Structure 1
Amino acid sequence: MISVMKEYNVQRHYITLHVTGYDKYTGDARRALLNDLKSDLRKRQEKMFQLVKPSSSTTIASYDVSLSMAKSKKAFSDGDLIKRCAIAMGKAMGFNDAALGFEKIPLSHQTVARRVEELSNFVQEKVMNQIQQCVYFSLALDESTNIRDASQLLVFVRSIDSQFNVSEELLGSLPLFTTTKGSDIYEALNSLVSKNGGFQKCSGIVTDCAKSMTGANIGVIAYLKDAGVDCPMFHCIIHQESLSSRCIRLSDVMKHVMRIINFIGSGNKALRHRLFVDFLKDLDTEFSDVSLHSTVSLLSAGKCLHQFFSFRNEILNSLVELNADTEGFKGLLQDVNFLKGLAFLPDITQHLNKLNLSLQGRTQTIVSLYGFIDGFRKKIKSLQSNLQSNILIHFPSCDVISKEIEDNNFCCFVETLDTLIEDFNKRFQDFQHLENNFNVFNAPLTITISEANELCDLQRDQFLLSKATLPITQFWPLLSEENYPNLRRFGLHLLSMFGSTYRCEAAFSAMKSIKSKERNLLNQTSLEACLRLTLTSVDIDTKELASKMQAHPSH
């Protein structure tokens, strides 16, 4: 029926418009004309194909550039600048054909914004598939505010599949429009996780130390427990380590150091600061200035203390030359007890800095993070023993001061290390019930066995014994599902767990660059898209995305 209708329509079209022009041709002449018309149609089709093919390439290029811009935290309007630069370079190098091609790439700020959102949706779909196919996943969440004072809840997911492939990705950036109470955070988190299959596979949740997160009755953890979410929930290991270090950083010595630094280099004392810098330059000291210290950052405290101690004598001489009321500061820098504290503080802070740096980084397992903490506690006990015997090999600044003063006994700081050990033990007691599991994970081939189980077979497996030198994260995937099903799931469970909110903190740092003073009106959808692309490790196939899009001319 359809073919008859088509034939009738074509016949009517021919009779109405073309019968007078083509009926005069008959026989071979008519066949020759028909062949010419067919040839002309093919040429038109080929020309159309040639026009569409470059447009497909320009779409891919548009996606690639937009992805690079998002990863580099650039404004959408920079796309036009990149395009103009590419055209200029092509013309300057004599590649006029390439310059013409660059002109056709759509990179307006509207197009880049749309491309970034499409790329983000592609990544989000991949992440959702990973969660659906994973064996376990854990969550890390933290809340902060952006430059517009709008609260943002960031949720990261760490998933692991049956082949021990681990992935850490941004699950969502959720705006909290009103209050940021535990109930608000719980509602936002529950809605997000429910869209991805719920908490059934969740192996652990880690948060920061805010009351809205960890409160016994009104924190998000309390709401999750009331909702029946049954998994370990921890306070971030890095946060707890940082809080423990404050019992040392907030000493009187640190306060006096900050007073002297502020006197020299801040406020309205610009002339005094310039004179001090010139003074250090004339002496050719190791550092050209003294750093200011942020109370938030342990690393900045260590740098500040190290620099201050390095040219304490130069600071004293500079204060003597200044025509100002500096008698109190000069007295401090000549006081034996202050100098001993000034030497001890950068030494112990240096040890804490090394620990803090070892805890940072992507793909850290909860086992390795707790191992660093446990190792540091043992290290502090060893340092304490050295101090009791006045052995200063691990305290280089104290060793320097001991050669300059008569009262060179540093045993007075043993109590300070006692306080540090007690604080570490108190803050990390939540992990004590997992210590046995951590020990099994770290040494499955050598740990003492009290009862017959899969570990007995494991420790007699000659193949696995020959792999004992492998990194532990590479050893566990070698366990077969057939012979060691329980141990394999045990390894998957531990490797899936977050131990810190480092990814959240890194994301907040990225957010400050993305939603800056110049881009403070960036909407929530674009902000989340840029953040996801900046932080993702998912491979994005721009050709696949471009194949689904209709090509448009440059704009």
Structure 2
Amino acid sequence: MQFVFKKKAVEKERATRASFHVANLLAKKGKPFTDGELIKKCLNEVAKEMCPENVDLFSAISLSANTVAHRVEHIERNIKSQLKDKASKFVCFSVALDESIDVSDTSQLLLFIRGINANFEITEELVSVHSMHGTTTGIDIFREVEKSVAEYNLEWKKLKCITTDGGRNMCGTKKGLVGQINKVIENSGGLKPLVLHCILHQQALCGKHLDLSSVLDPVISTVNYIRSHGLKHRQFRDFLEEMNAEFPDLPYYTSVRWLSYGKILARFFELRTEIEIFLNEKNHSQVLLKDSEWLWKLAFSADLTMHLNDFNLRIQGETSLICDLYSKVKAFCKKLILFESQLTRSCFTHFSRCDKYRQEAATPFPNLFAQDVILALKQQFEERFSDLDAYPNVDVIYISPTHLTEEAEQYYEKLLALRPAILSGDINKISDMTKRVTFIVPEVITHFSRKKMCLASMLKYSPVALRRIKNLVKGREAYIVPGMVYMDDMEVAKQLDLAILGPDPETAQLYSTKSGVKRIFQSSEVNMPPGIFDIYTEEQLHESLAQLIIENLTIGRWLLKFDTTVSSNGIAYCDIMHLKCFVQIYKEAIRYGDKWTHKWAHESSFNILLNELPEYLKHYANPVNKSRYCAWEIYKKAFLLRGGIIEAYPPSDFVTAVQVDLLIAPNGETQILCTGDQIISQNPFDPWGLSVPQCSIEPPRINCACFKIANSCKVRGILGYVTVIFATFICEQTKQQLLWCIDMKLGYSDSLAMFQLMKYISNIYLDVDTHHLIVAENETPTTEELSLEKCVSRKKTHEKQYRYGVLSTKLYHSNLSIIHYSVFFQMCRAHGIGYDIKEKQGTLFTLIDYTARNYIGMLVISKDLRNGLAAFARNLNTLHEEVSSPNMQGETNFKEAINSIEEIIGITVLNEQEDKKTKKK
């Protein structure tokens, strides 16, 4: 008896479970609940045929409409209960929202949530669908979202990211959903979440704004003609079947379906022959189907839109991380560059339909059309996905050698927060960057302030700072960007278990010397000044200098440099005009003529010169830093102790030093990050500033030399940031412009940091081929989408905007130390010294060190170089007048900088006048 009851209970339980399974399937497929009764009848009929003995079991399954409804409600409550339980364990979570109109014109708000618990288990679900019958303002949407957050017991301060559809009611920072959420999170003590525009939605908008109307309009017109009448459509399908066509029909074009664009073009291209025959039979011929150029465009458009469709599908799916989607977006942008390059050469490796049509085409491929379309698509991607560039998956931990004042921290936070406003052109669009940049000061700095220790050594003995860095980088990819690499840098990297973007300490020490740099230049086979390196004895010094003078009689000045030196401290120069024997040597060279290149011709002159050099150097060798090396003997002793080089100074009255910053990546790729012309004052060996980009020589010559040097560096294990210094001048004998490689420094330079600030704040990029700084376009409005015609005209009328910068980190005025930063910035505002976000030009300052407030950095960005230089000089003059008084002028290099700028502007004006005269002739 017990067995009978148990069997009945099991059968009933199975019937209930089966009922739940069927109800679940009906709900997922969106079928009416009344279909449950039909399914039960079907099951009974199947059971009668397959297993008659079990008909009663199938009959016991309850699938009435009411039962299915109850089952679905029960499943819903169970799922919600499970989700609530998981949500209560979330360490952090993100939300994605989409608001759209259904067929009844009711607004439907979909809320997706993704959370992660302490065990790194990810939950991703659609938590609610809200029907909004009234208004759909940002506040209305927030109220609905607030209900869901409260229902699932979520904490606002754990919200880390919001992804929206880009509407104003969603993205508004004041009255929009984002603004309302930010207010609630701030009140709860949390940090503002990351805000992104849906990547899938943006990709679709990029495709929609392509100018393919010349191809798409005739296609849509033809498809509508065929499918608009039932008889005609049936005849067309029968015709395709008779022709054994690859496809049985043509699809309609549906603008709201994102993948429809590519499918209709691809199908139309494949059936073009059948379509042409059918239209001719109907006396409705389409002339374009005989136009070879239009068919080329059709094939290209079909291929390109299918690439877009494929990309659209690849970025769909659950559990996709933003960093992975960002990588896919960037990869597709790179692919567009590849497409552009291939199509200019009529290479159709990635364009199968173009490759297929090439065999029957009567005209060449329309390169200009393809280039315009791909360029427009590239620009759309750059603009649409600019928020990803504004929020890359990179945070910065800055190890500071000094404590930053609250004023300085606030200044940099406000400066960094301007990026979204720069990208959009909307001055109200400000982001919170406090969580993206962290300043850390090693705690032992206060104890070792008088010790001459590098920053890595300070950090090595600061356990609190190291522990904080470990917590910040835990579970994330990170690396160290050092200055000069020492053993303590390696020790810090070992403790933090991080990689260093730089060479090993031994390599860094070897090739940071002047002699080491010369070895790299020599192996690179680049042009460099005549010279000799690795000099360590007085005899070697005299013999080397004598030999160089005799072999290079056109060189008027020779430089001596310490192997290890800071700035121009270790440099001395000597002019050969003071040599008593020079006239005699010169006459000897004329007498020998072409034979002067042989060593035996130099013997007598070499001995005469060698005898005179010791006394000559004693009287005429000039150390640049007179305060440190007041006499030749003192300089010579330091030179021989450290070792050094001798090299020629360019034989010209007008010499320009060009500076190039490179990045040699660990994968071997070399990037040119910044180019500029150094600006000098009275001391030609110690530049105080830089004008970017460089305008002194053709970019290909600079690029070629840089890549040769980079290749030589890679062979020696040098990677990371490298700064190369060139000297360019006009040779008086040949009247040709020469380029000499004169120096190289390892590490991240101050000028590169200033340029990166310029790039960040003005949304520019360096065109490596032309060395132009070009402003990237602003974001396209997302709230009111432009029509196709407006978008096309906007792109065609757009002209590239160029920017120039003048920057310095070496500005000094002793009176600045008594002025607070707040007073300093008020003074700047009073004189109109500031930055225009919309125009992307103006002045920025860098606050270098609160312990040495008399130093300051300044960056001026303008639309042309001359105005930039003039603005820089004007700013210096204004600041000098404001911080000085008749009785307290103070020590400064402002005046020297102003004088050098005025000299450059004068030369620029003369060059422009000469160019105009040349053009008139």
Answer yes or no: is the 8 Å Cα contact 1:446–1:459 preserved in 2. no
2:248 alignment counterpart: 288
Structure 1 CA distance for aligned equivalents of residues 495 and 232 of structure 2? 69
Structure 2 CA distance for aligned equivalents of residues 193 and 93 of structure 1? 51
Q: Is it true that 1:306 corresponds to 2:266 in the alignment?
A: yes
Query: Taking structure 1 as reference, are residues 263 and 159 closer, same or farther at Cα in structure 2, changes over 3 Å only?
Result: same
2:480 alignment counterpart: 449
2:135 alignment counterpart: 179
Q: Offset at 1:446?
A: 8.1
Answer yes or no: is the 8 Å Cα contact 1:401–1:408 preserved in 2. no
The residue type equivalent to 2:318 in the other structure is: R
Q: Is it true that 1:349 corresponds to 2:380 in the alignment?
A: no
Q: Is it true that 1:419 corresponds to 2:384 in the alignment?
A: no
Structure 1 CA distance for aligned equivalents of residues 165 and 231 of structure 2? 42
Structure 2 counterpart SS, 1:159:
strand
1:363 alignment counterpart: 319
Q: Offset at 1:281?
A: 3.1
Q: Is it true that 1:232 corresponds to 2:194 in the alignment?
A: yes
Q: Is it true that 1:199 corresponds to 2:156 in the alignment?
A: yes
The residue type equivalent to 2:234 in the other structure is: R
Q: Offset at 1:184?
A: 1.1
Q: Offset at 1:382?
A: 1.0
Q: Is it true that 1:65 corresponds to 2:22 in the alignment?
A: yes
Answer yes or no: is the 8 Å Cα contact 1:439–1:447 preserved in 2. no
Structure 1 counterpart SS, 2:98:
strand
Q: Offset at 1:393?
A: 2.2
Q: Is it true that 1:117 corresponds to 2:73 in the alignment?
A: yes
Query: Taking structure 1 as reference, are residues 458 and 118 closer, same or farther at Cα in structure 2, changes over 3 Å only?
Result: farther
How do 1:29-428 residues align onto structure 2 when only pairs under 5 Å count?
55-93=12-50, 95-96=52-53, 98-195=54-151, 196-215=153-172, 217-228=174-185, 230-248=192-210, 250-266=212-228, 269-324=229-284, 326=285, 329-330=286-287, 332-412=288-368, 413-428=370-385
Query: Taking structure 1 as reference, are residues 80 and 289 closer, same or farther at Cα in structure 2, changes over 3 Å only?
Result: closer
2:827 alignment counterpart: none
Structure 2 CA distance for aligned equivalents of residues 52 and 281 of structure 1? 58
Q: Which runs of 5+ in 1 are unaligned?
A: 1-42, 461-555
Answer yes or no: is the 8 Å Cα contact 1:160–1:167 preserved in 2. yes
Structure 2 CA distance for aligned equivalents of residues 439 and 250 of structure 1? 43
Structure 2 CA distance for aligned equivalents of residues 453 and 160 of structure 1? 30
Structure 2 CA distance for aligned equivalents of residues 146 and 90 of structure 1? 41
Q: Offset at 1:51?
A: 6.6
Structure 2 CA distance for aligned equivalents of residues 46 and 281 of structure 1? 64
Structure 2 CA distance for aligned equivalents of residues 455 and 244 of structure 1? 46
Structure 2 CA distance for aligned equivalents of residues 445 and 235 of structure 1? 24
Structure 1 CA distance for aligned equivalents of residues 396 and 354 of structure 2? 36
Structure 1 counterpart SS, 2:156:
coil
Structure 1 CA distance for aligned equivalents of residues 231 and 36 of structure 2? 44
Q: Offset at 1:212?
A: 2.6
Answer yes or no: is the 8 Å Cα contact 1:449–1:456 preserved in 2. no
The residue type equivalent to 2:224 in the other structure is: N
Query: Taking structure 1 as reference, are residues 107 and 401 closer, same or farther at Cα in structure 2, changes over 3 Å only?
Result: closer
Answer yes or no: is the 8 Å Cα contact 1:140–1:155 preserved in 2. yes
The residue type equivalent to 2:176 in the other structure is: G
Structure 1 CA distance for aligned equivalents of residues 73 and 335 of structure 2? 49
Normalising by structure 1, we get a TM-score of: 0.66
The residue type equivalent to 1:344 in the other structure is: F
Query: By percentage of residues, which structure has more helix?
Result: 1
Query: Taking structure 1 as reference, are residues 379 and 439 closer, same or farther at Cα in structure 2, changes over 3 Å only?
Result: farther
Structure 1 CA distance for aligned equivalents of residues 26 and 298 of structure 2? 46
Answer yes or no: is the 8 Å Cα contact 1:238–1:359 preserved in 2. yes
Structure 2 CA distance for aligned equivalents of residues 352 and 198 of structure 1? 39
The residue type equivalent to 1:231 in the other structure is: P
Query: Taking structure 1 as reference, are residues 135 and 455 closer, same or farther at Cα in structure 2, changes over 3 Å only?
Result: farther
1:432 alignment counterpart: 389
Cα deviation, 1:65-88, whole Å, max 9, x if unaligned, reads 333333343322233333334344
Structure 2 CA distance for aligned equivalents of residues 307 and 86 of structure 1? 41
Q: Offset at 1:384?
A: 0.8
Structure 1 counterpart SS, 2:290:
coil
Structure 2 CA distance for aligned equivalents of residues 262 and 352 of structure 1? 24
Structure 1 counterpart SS, 2:394:
helix
Cα deviation, 1:346-403, whole Å, max 9, x if unaligned, reads 1111211111110111221111111110000000011111122232222232334444
- Identical aligned pairs, as a percentage? 34
Answer yes or no: is the 8 Å Cα contact 1:449–1:455 preserved in 2. no
Structure 2 counterpart SS, 1:135:
strand
Structure 1 CA distance for aligned equivalents of residues 7 and 230 of structure 2? 67
Structure 1 stretch 133-142 or stretch 274-283: which is displaced more?
274-283
Structure 1 CA distance for aligned equivalents of residues 169 and 199 of structure 2? 18
Q: Offset at 1:218?
A: 4.2
The residue type equivalent to 2:389 in the other structure is: Q
Structure 2 counterpart SS, 1:122:
helix
Q: Offset at 1:429?
A: 0.9
Q: Which runs of 5+ in 2 are unaligned?
A: 187-191, 398-471, 483-491, 501-921
What do you get for the CA RMSD once the two structures are aligned? 3.2
Q: Offset at 1:194?
A: 2.5
Structure 1 CA distance for aligned equivalents of residues 363 and 243 of structure 2? 29
Q: Offset at 1:49?
A: 7.6
Query: Taking structure 1 as reference, are residues 113 and 414 closer, same or farther at Cα in structure 2, changes over 3 Å only?
Result: same
Answer yes or no: is the 8 Å Cα contact 2:227–2:233 preserved in 1. yes
Structure 2 counterpart SS, 1:74:
coil
Bigger radius of gyration, 1 or 2? 2
Answer yes or no: is the 8 Å Cα contact 2:108–2:130 preserved in 1. yes
Cα deviation, 1:185-232, whole Å, max 9, x if unaligned, reads 111111211232232211211111333323455432233234346101
Query: Taking structure 1 as reference, are residues 50 and 299 closer, same or farther at Cα in structure 2, changes over 3 Å only?
Result: closer
The residue type equivalent to 1:434 in the other structure is: Y
Q: Offset at 1:409?
A: 3.6
- Of structures 1 and 2, the one with the larger relative CO (CA 8 A, separation 6+) is 1
Structure 1 CA distance for aligned equivalents of residues 143 and 495 of structure 2? 42
Structure 1 CA distance for aligned equivalents of residues 364 and 76 of structure 2? 61
Structure 2 CA distance for aligned equivalents of residues 366 and 216 of structure 1? 22
Structure 1 CA distance for aligned equivalents of residues 396 and 365 of structure 2? 39
Q: Offset at 1:94?
A: 5.0
Q: Offset at 1:448?
A: 4.3
Answer yes or no: is the 8 Å Cα contact 2:211–2:373 preserved in 1. no
Q: Offset at 1:161?
A: 1.6
Structure 1 CA distance for aligned equivalents of residues 281 and 4 of structure 2? 84
